[in-house]
Structures are given as structure tokens and as C-alpha cells.
Amino acid sequence: MNASRNAHPAWKQAGRWLITLGAAAALAACGGGDDSNTATADGSLRLAMTDAPSCGYDHVYVTVNKLRVNQSAVAGDSDAGWTELTLSPARKVDLLSLTNGVLEELGTMPLRAGHYSQIRLVLADNSVSDTMAASVQPTGGVLTALSTPSAQQSGLKLKANIDISAGQLADLVLDFDACKSIVKAGNSGQYLLKPVITVFPRLTTAIQGWVSTALAAGSTTVSAQQAGVTVRATAPDANGRFTIPYLPVGTYSVVVASEGRSTAVVTSVPVTTATGTTTVNGTATAIVPPLSAMADVTGALTLASVSGTTTVSAALTDGSARALQALTGGPTVQLGAQSVDAVLGTYRFHLPVAAPVKAPYVSAATALSFAADAPVAGKFSIELASTARVTQTKAADISGGLGAIVNFNYGP
């Protein structure tokens, strides 16, 4: 549940999402906050955590110590104006359990009325008392401690857009994208935690439906996308049911991706406040993408520099990659996104060779009618973004059933 990520455009579309409290007594019961702010609190902020589906991991654990909010977007750790919600004891969360709308409730803090622009999520470091406070278990592997950024000491800085008014509750969710946040460190067997988190309002809108239980368990994801960008994603449950919650009003493509299957895309799925939850299909018409061979697209990101008369290339490790596929007549859909290797600057996408199938959404009562998009079978593009550099996009063709190598370079 989709992360890096600063406040998503969805937050701007949703506006300032407020829920009226039923009584002043409810406000008085809210926990957290420093004494000065609590004594004069006008409203409150409720925070929860969710996760986008992971890629290649069985468990991803983080331990939350506290949350901090400030009206200033540039306030430093020791500046005035912070209000804190301390979790006691600290909350250890398996991010991969937070799918299909499941939330980890972190708590509620009273706040003075006003506009707040910064949230900090403070995570616990691994220690003698808990050597796996931040840890990952790759599929088929063992639980491994994560190396964590020094920024965790003062909290991970998240942009926000929160208005607190008297007698009202601002209700936000932190979407911790485990897939993008866990970064492999070369061939060391170690992993880094580079949190990718989106802040969005807890809306009452959603898309739901069913995929076949024949799809590979643990490797199937269902995402709601707009213009080739995943707004939110989830994994189906054991019965094939999926729910993609908290979606801003708009029109989406629902994209089903699974190991050994072609991609299935349902286009023009509407989300409205009047409907609340849009149902794409039922159990009798569960989505079953056709079988497909799979192939890898791999590559490396390098930075070239000139030393005398020699051009030297070195791994560039602050990049992120996306695998995209442009369907005939639209839309473009995203098949994967990841940070490059923290040591080697490499990436890898495991993609279907067979043609994607596409069906327009008509109504919950109308069966989806999928058709293969043969002209784009095995044809993708890889987009590479790096901090303060121009984003690059290159074609990747695996239609012959073989893998492709697509490298990127910045510099002379």
C-alpha cells in the first residue's frame, strides 16, 4: 500500500479531510501530545499505518517509537512547536500483514487548531533488547536485520497538509511501501531500510473484486492506477478477494499481476463518494489472466566522470526504476517499481512475455470481457529516476522470450 514518497497527488485531490467528533468527551480521551499543547487542544489527529504489497519478502518488520507533528514544514528536530504521540511500549509491525484495507492503528493526539505541514515517524533501531526491531525475511530465506538510516534518530520527515479545527478529527494513513523501502546491498546478503511513505486521508471510497485462487499465492498484486502511476495496491486474500481502499474520487485502471501469468487490466473503473465502494466483479467471474512465460529485464545505473583524459564510470545508487507497458489505445500501466541496489546500482524486473489482456468496466452487473493486446506482447519501457537528475526512459523488448539488459548512465 503504496511509497521516498512525499504527499501523493491524491492528498491534494482529497483536500482537507475532516471528521466531526461526536462529543467533547471523545477529545478528552485522546492520548499523546505534549502537556502544553494538550492543555489547550482544539481538535485531534488520528494516525494509522498500512502497506503496499511487497516483492519477494515474507515478512518486513518495523518498530514505531513515536510520531511528531509540527506546523512548520522546515522545523528541525530541536525547534519549537512539536507535538508528540509516544507509543508505549513501542509497536512492532509486520508491514506485510497490512493489506486489503487492514490498518495498524497508531493512536490519536490532541492538537491546537491550525495548519500542520510536517509529520515525523520515529522508528526504533536494532538493539540488544531487540536485534530484529527492523528486519526482513526474503522469500525462502531467514530473518535478517535491516541497516537503518541515521535519520531515524530524529524521525523520518513526511510532508503533510493537515487542518485541525475545534471539535474535529483529522484522519490520516501512512502508506509504508515495503517493496520500495527494502534495498538490497550488493552480494553481501544485507538489506537497507530506506523508507518510502505516502501520507493520505482515510477516505471511505474503495475498489473491490475477485481474482482466481489459481493465481500464485504471495506473488499476486492488484493495483489501482492512473496514467501509469500506482495510487494504491494490495494483495488478494486466500479466497481471491481484493479491496483497494482510501482512493480519491476519479477513474482508475485496475491492474492484476501474478507470477506465470500475463497482465490483466480493467479500464475506466470509477470511484465516487456516492457509490463508496466500486465492485469490479464477483466470485463467479473471478479474473484469471492467461498463462505466460516470464523473462527478466535487468540493468545498472552508472555515473560517468572525467579524470584527466580518462572517463570513469561508477555505480550510482540513489536511483529508482519503474517497468511500464503502454497498451494499444491506452492506458500505460506500471508492472513494477523498485530502488536500485544500494551497492551495485542494479535493478531487475520479472515480466510476462505473453500479451496483456484488457477489459473495459461497464458496471458491477456486467461481466468483464477481456481481449488480448497482441501488438504490445513482451514490449516494455524502463524508467529510471535519480535525485536532481533528468529521468531517463528506454525500451525493453522480451517478446522473443529472452531477457533484456537495459543500462542507464548519467554524466559525460
177 in a structural domain: yes
232 in a structural domain: yes
Same domain, 175 and 222: no
The dihedral through the CA atoms of 59, 107, 13, 205 has a sign that is positive
401 in a structural domain: yes
pLDDT at 26 over 70: no
Q: Which of 34-38, 137-141, 143-147, 173-177 has the lowest mean pLDDT?
A: 34-38
Q: Point out the domain boundary residue: 241, 266, 285.
A: 285
Same domain, 170 and 44: yes
Q: Whole-angstrom Cα distance, residue 122 to residue 247? A: 26
Q: Point out the domain boundary residue: 235, 266, 285.
A: 285
pLDDT at 63 over 90: yes
pLDDT at 295 over 90: yes
Residue 398 belongs to domain with CATH number: 2.60.40
- Render pLDDT for 194-203 as a digit per residue (tens, 0 to 9): 888 889 888 8
268 in a structural domain: yes
pLDDT at 126 over 60: yes
The pLDDT confidence band at residue 341, using thresholds 50, 70 and 90, is: very high
226 in a structural domain: yes
Of the two residues 166 and 373, the one the predictor is more confident about is 373
Same domain, 100 and 147: yes
DSSP for residue 368: -
Q: Whole-angstrom Cα distance, residue 207 to residue 166? A: 32
State how far the alpha carbon of 320 is from the alpha carbons of 51, 112, 235, in Å.
Answer: 19, 38, 22
Identify the domain containing residue 378 by its residue range. 294-355+373-410
Question: What is residue 3's predicted lDDT score, i.e. its pLDDT?
Answer: 37
364 in a structural domain: no
Question: What is residue 159's predicted lDDT score, i.e. its pLDDT?
Answer: 85
Same domain, 230 and 94: no
Q: Whole-angstrom Cα distance, residue 247 to residue 10? A: 8
- Render pLDDT for 131-153 as a digit per residue (tens, 0 to 9): 999 999 988 899 999 988 665 66
Structural contact between residues 49 and 122, judged by C-beta atoms closer than 8 angstroms: no
- What are the backbone dihedrals phi and psi of residue 233, each rounded to the nearest 5 degrees, phi first? -145, 160
Question: What is residue 307's predicted lDDT score, i.e. its pLDDT?
Answer: 80
Same domain, 36 and 130: yes
pLDDT at 179 over 90: no
pLDDT at 114 over 90: yes
% residues pLDDT > 70 (the chain): 88
Question: What is residue 340's predicted lDDT score, i.e. its pLDDT?
Answer: 94
The pLDDT confidence band at residue 107, using thresholds 50, 70 and 90, is: very high
Same domain, 182 and 49: yes
365 in a structural domain: no
| Domains in the chain, number | 3
- Strand runs labelled E in 202-344: 206-210, 221-226, 229-234, 241-245, 250-257, 264-271, 277-279, 294-307, 310-315, 319-326, 332-339
The pLDDT confidence band at residue 6, using thresholds 50, 70 and 90, is: very low
DSSP for residue 285: G
Same domain, 165 and 74: yes
Same domain, 189 and 109: yes
Same domain, 330 and 188: no
The pLDDT confidence band at residue 128, using thresholds 50, 70 and 90, is: confident
Q: Is 1 exposed, middle or buried (0-12, 13-18, 19+ CB in 10 A)?
A: buried
Same domain, 87 and 192: yes
pLDDT at 81 over 90: yes
Q: What is the mean pLDDT of the chain?
A: 87
Same domain, 51 and 153: yes
pLDDT at 4 over 60: no
The pLDDT confidence band at residue 18, using thresholds 50, 70 and 90, is: very low
Same domain, 253 and 238: yes
Residue 238 belongs to domain with CATH number: 2.60.40.1120
The pLDDT confidence band at residue 216, using thresholds 50, 70 and 90, is: confident
Q: Whole-angstrom Cα distance, residue 106 to residue 175? A: 13
- Alpha-carbon dihedral 279, 280, 284, 288, rounded to 10 degrees: -150
- Bridge partners of residue 48, in order along the sequence: 105, 173
Q: Point out the domain boundary residue: 285, 305, 320.
A: 285
% residues pLDDT > 90 (the chain): 67
Question: What is residue 150's predicted lDDT score, i.e. its pLDDT?
Answer: 62
Structural contact between residues 144 and 138, judged by C-beta atoms closer than 8 angstroms: yes
368 in a structural domain: no
Of the two residues 29 and 378, the one the predictor is more confident about is 378
Question: What is residue 151's predicted lDDT score, i.e. its pLDDT?
Answer: 55
Q: Which of 28-37, 80-89, 145-154, 243-252 has the lowest mean pLDDT?
A: 28-37
